[in-house]
């Protein structure tokens, strides 16, 4: 299995992800890897860790999620690996529930989300976003 962290999806990924059939609520599993030091485009907060920059995004995203009836279910640091082997563990896992693909897309295109995305970009070295659906739905 090859794993490739990224901060932003490519055009093909976006088209495929949002172009599929709408099938209701889902949970996004976010596997996050932080930069050692935050990298803001304007050079500000050069002494801030990537994790602290992302925490700014994490705090602000709650209002964006609520605006589309989404919610964070869980967020916490990765503390160990029991099965399998990877070169490097992710730093954090977050589970976010969305009522629909349309709701997620609406949130991501909102001015409020665009305003806080700077913290996400400054703090993340890469991530995997994995869409899941509940068994039996």
Q: Look up the domain containing 34 and give its range.
A: 11-132
Asked, for residue 2, whether it belongs to a domain, the answer is no
Band (36; pLDDT cuts 50, 70, 90): very high
**Domain assignment present for 72:** yes
The whole-number pLDDT of residue 137 equals 59
The domain total for the chain is: 1
Q: pTM (2 decimals)?
A: 0.87
Q: Each residue of 26-35: pLDDT tens digit?
A: 999 999 999 9
Where b means 16+ CB within 10 Å and e means fewer, 81-96 reads: eeeeeeeeebbbebeb
Q: What is the CATH number of the domain that holds 103?
A: 3.30.70.100
For residue 12, the model assigns a pLDDT of: 84
């Amino acid at each position: 299995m090859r794993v490739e962290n990224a901060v932003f999806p490519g055009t093909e990924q976006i088209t495929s992800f949002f172009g599929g059939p709408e099938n209701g609520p889902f949970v996004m599993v976010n596997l996050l890897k932080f930069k050692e030091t935050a990298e803001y485009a304007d050079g500000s907060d050069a002494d801030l860790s990537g994790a602290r920059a992302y925490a700014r995004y994490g705090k602000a995203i709650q209002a964006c999620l609520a605006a589309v009836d989404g919610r964070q279910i869980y967020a916490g640091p990765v503390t160990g690996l029991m099965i399998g082997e990877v070169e490097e563990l992710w730093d954090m896992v977050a589970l976010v529930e969305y009522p629909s693909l349309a709701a997620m897309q609406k949130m991501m295109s909102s001015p409020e989300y665009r305003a806080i995305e700077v913290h996400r970009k400054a703090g993340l070295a890469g991530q995997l976003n994995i869409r899941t659906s509940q068994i039996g739905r």
